Structure 1
Amino acid sequence: MDTRTWGVLGAMVLSACASTGGSATGIQVGPRPYFLVEQLEPGPLKQRLRRCADGPFRRTTFSIGHRGAPLQFPEHTRESYEAAARMGAGVLECDVTFTKDRQLVCRHSQCDLHTTTNILAIPELAAKCAKPFEPADPATGRPASARCCTSDVTLAEFKRLCGKMDAADPAATTVEQYLRGTPDWRTDLYSTCGTLLSHQESIALFRSLGTKFTPELKAPSVPMPYEGDYTQVAYAQQLVDEYTRAGVPPEDVWPQSFQLDDVKYWLQHAPRFGRQAVFLDERDDLPGSRFDPDDPSTWEPSMEALAASGVRIIAPPIYVLLKLDAEGRIVPSAYARHARAAGLDLITWSFEREGPLPPGGGYYFQSIAPALKRDGDVLVALDVLARDVGVVGVFSDWPGTVTYYASCMGRD
């Protein structure tokens, strides 16, 4: 076949890619958004989204890669982040915790290495785990267990690990069995050996991908001060210092924490970063909580008090922002309305975190579950979040869907 023929075929392939989810910007949303659009009931939203089928799709800060793209890629790995960026996520998240030698790394929890990596399959590193592997005992009903923390290993040892899908088999009697357990609505197809990253490496990677940054300071799973002198304040400062040393403009960084004191620390001691600090609000899920998204008397502190303290952005789970009205329609909760009235911006989590609806999902949409009769109905929820609640960003485990919606609706 001659060169000219190859050139013609190449042009045909590129044209086909552009008409099936690609774009001139290189953003590829993949087939899932199209599947969800087709699952929608006929109506204006379906018509509008269908008209966007040929793009163009673009990177947008409205689409936030929650741990990358962990619906199908091992979370907090290079491969997961690269997939999220290709799907148009304009902001990527590194959940930040620390190693034994106090180096910051990307992990959802300080003590999740036994379910998110292959540490138990490496004997010399498994021996360092806080709690070694214990097989299940069918006779007593005791489940298999282990506990391996980033603080059990050094950064160099951490970098020896392979990331895998976050899962474990509680019925396992061997390490090999325990490391399995991926839900059937996910996949191990891309879980051969995910590349783990330090926080500094994530900064360099995200810069190279052209995205912005939202690091979450994870609550330590070890007593603080760690080893007597590594304080929570030092930990919080270390996070922002790594952006300063890398020359990242603070306006490109949205540091997050579930601990309001961390946000207040950044506001006072690193104000250029604190200006965009995100208070991750899980008050509804705390033990003994009487928090009710539709009863302001149960909110402590109030929205007005949060705003007065300098907080500008809060981020509750999706179900806190939505409810059903008397006609069964999805509408903003009182929480959403009061937050906006107090001048607070809203981000929410986590879209595409669950399996099929029904029967696999439900937690993140629990307040509106009766309205979700088929998978595509999540796009109705997304539309209400964007149009009526007014969220400025949505964390997603598969950012292509949010990117498709945001590009179609002209969201930045």
Structure 2
Amino acid sequence: MSVALPLLAGSALSLTGCSDEELPKLLVIGHRGASALRPEHTLASYRKAVEDGADVIEPDVVSTKDGVLVARHENEIGGTTNVSTIAKFESYKKTKTIDGVQITGWFTEDFTLAELKELRARERIPDIRPGNMQYNDQFEIPTLTEVIELAKELSDSTGRTIHITPETKHPTYFQSINLPLEDKLVETLKANDFTKNKAYVFIQSFETTNLKALRQKIGTSQEKWKLMQLIDSAEKAPYDLVAAGDTRKYGDLLTQASIKEIAKYADGVSPYKLNLINVDSAGAFQTPTDVIRFAHEEGLLVHSWTFRPENNFLPAPLKSNSTASTRNEAGSVTEIQEYLKAGLDGVFTDDPAVGRKAVDTFKP
């Protein structure tokens, strides 16, 4: 059934049953927390995101061996923890095929939660974020439950509800090893009254099948839970479609007809930013595509990713005359506002202080 949301006047949408006080019309989403300033997917990163003005925090979720959902961008954790330095876990190193790609490292599904709690987080891209290395080996890998509890705590202390947007990572793979993420996700969200009834929960996936299954499972019973179809760059493909022999790419999901189909099971789309506004060879912004218009016509929210503050990630005209790792606040604000002009409802940013400034100073 369709749970598409009503389209209101203006560029931003209002969720059914949601007042302006409950959910801002333009959302600042802390991508993996404030990952430009703290190692990603740590409670410290999520806390910093909220301190810097994020409305929503994003825990990517993967499973442990004993079926607990934890916050990691990937199930391979060699690059984001100190696991390679711990002798007792040397034998856990394996080579696996994840979504058709052979990867060697350490994987969350081979560790119990107790074992994962012995590890400490490390900065994923130290060359670009050398300042984050001072926090290496300080923070645990949090469970989804712990992230929810932090959001509740920060909601109480700040007086504003902090919403969450969990993303199921590699759902087809986890289903294949009998550690499906979906039931555990629903169970965890319902176990806490904060996510069951108070906060908005934007459930994301780059795959389509598990979102459709979640829609069948929850129906419209959770008014504040919104399913968001993540859409990667046009030439890539959802792995569930690849596994099923379906040849469609993400670009095929961006047509008007496909967005109408997405509206039958999802409440919004979260496309990669260049699917919305591309840049030419010199880095100059091009004319926006029709994707946001198509989505809004179907009553869908549109969030986009990822807006990062460092020179390394900015379009050429917005880079400052400095190093790749330099935090370029002005350039990032300009980039975000270019997308807000096109009608976005939410932005994923690694630096929520910059996102907050971009939203608060935006003049439609």
TM-score (norm 2): 0.75
Letter of the structure 2 residue corresponding to residue 100 of structure 1: K
- Once residues 371 and 292 of structure 1 are traced to their aligned partners in structure 2, the CA distance between those partners, rounded to angstroms, is 28
Match of 1:215 among 166, 170, 188: 166
Q: Helix, strand or coil for the counterpart of 1:315?
A: strand
Letter of the structure 2 residue corresponding to residue 257 of structure 1: S
1:243 maps to 2:199: no
Match of 1:200 among 128, 145, 151: 145
Letter of the structure 2 residue corresponding to residue 224 of structure 1: Q
Contact kept in structure 2, 1:256 and 1:280, CA below 8 Å = yes
Q: How does 1:32-51 map to 2 (within 5 A)?
A: none
- Once residues 253 and 135 of structure 2 are traced to their aligned partners in structure 1, the CA distance between those partners, rounded to angstroms, is 47
Letter of the structure 2 residue corresponding to residue 118 of structure 1: N
User: Relative to 1, partners in 2 of residues 1:336 and 1:118: Cα closer, same or farther, differing over 3 Å?
Assistant: same
Q: How does 1:130-279 map to 2 (within 5 A)?
A: 130-131=94-95, 146-167=104-125, 182-187=126-131, 188-210=133-155, 211-220=162-171, 222=173, 224-226=175-177, 230=178, 232=180, 235-247=181-193, 248-249=195-196, 252-271=200-219, 272-273=221-222, 276-279=226-229
Larger Rg: 1
Give the C-alpha shift of residue 85 in structure 1: 0.9
User: Relative to 1, partners in 2 of residues 1:373 and 1:115: Cα closer, same or farther, differing over 3 Å?
Assistant: closer
User: Which residue of structure 1 lines up, in the alignment, with residue 56 of structure 2?
Assistant: 91
1:129 maps to 2:99: no
Give the C-alpha shift of residue 338 in structure 1: 2.1
- Once residues 166 and 329 of structure 1 are traced to their aligned partners in structure 2, the CA distance between those partners, rounded to angstroms, is 29
User: Relative to 1, partners in 2 of residues 1:160 and 1:64: Cα closer, same or farther, differing over 3 Å?
Assistant: same
Give the C-alpha shift of residue 278 in structure 1: 0.7
The answer for unaligned runs of 5 or more in structure 2 is: 1-22, 97-102, 156-161, 321-327
Q: Helix, strand or coil for the counterpart of 1:63?
A: strand
**Cα deviation code 1:194-218 (max 9, x no counterpart):** 2220111111111111111111111
Contact kept in structure 2, 1:314 and 1:345, CA below 8 Å = yes
- Once residues 185 and 198 of structure 1 are traced to their aligned partners in structure 2, the CA distance between those partners, rounded to angstroms, is 24
What is the number of residues matched between the two proteins?
Answer: 305
Instruction: Decide which moves more: 215-224 or 120-129.
Output: 215-224
Residue identity (%): 26
Runs of 4+ in 1 over 6 A off after TM superposition: none
Contact kept in structure 1, 2:307 and 2:349, CA below 8 Å = yes
Match of 1:341 among 277, 293, 297: 297
- Root-mean-square deviation (Å): 3.0
Give the C-alpha shift of residue 290 in structure 1: 8.2
User: Which residue of structure 1 lines up, in the alignment, with residue 334 of structure 2?
Assistant: 380
Contact kept in structure 2, 1:130 and 1:152, CA below 8 Å = no
TM-score (norm 1): 0.66
1:116 maps to 2:80: yes
Letter of the structure 1 residue corresponding to residue 135 of structure 2: Y
Give the C-alpha shift of residue 192 in structure 1: 4.1
Give the C-alpha shift of residue 154 in structure 1: 0.3
Q: Helix, strand or coil for the counterpart of 2:27?
A: strand
